[in-house]
Amino acid sequence: MKRTALVSAVLLGTLMSSCKKETKTTTPPPAGGTLGTLTAENYGFDGGRSGKFSSTKAGFTQQSAAGVSTFMISAIRDGGSESITIVLLHAVKDTGVYQIGSDYDNGGIEIMKDYTKPGDLTQTYSTDNDGNTMHGGGEIRITKVDGSNVEGTFYAVGFNSAGKESFAEQGSFKGTISK
Give me the mean pLDDT over the 129-136 stretch. Answer: 82
Judge if pTM exceeds 0.85.
Answer: no
Percentage, residues of the chain above pLDDT 90: 65
* C-alpha dihedral, 16 to 122 to 111 to 9, nearest 10°: 40
Domain ranges in the chain are 2-24+39-176
Q: What angle do CA 132, 163, 97 make, to 5 degrees?
A: 85
The band of 31, judged by pLDDT with boundaries at 50, 70 and 90, is: very low
Q: Residue 104 and residue 14: Cα distance in Å, rounded?
A: 22
Give me the mean pLDDT over the 113-140 stretch. Answer: 91
* Diameter over CA atoms, the chain: 48
Percentages of the chain per state (helix, strand, coil), in multiples of 5 = 10, 50, 40
3-state secondary structure of 115: coil
Burial of 109 (0-12, 13-18, 19+ CB in 10 A): buried
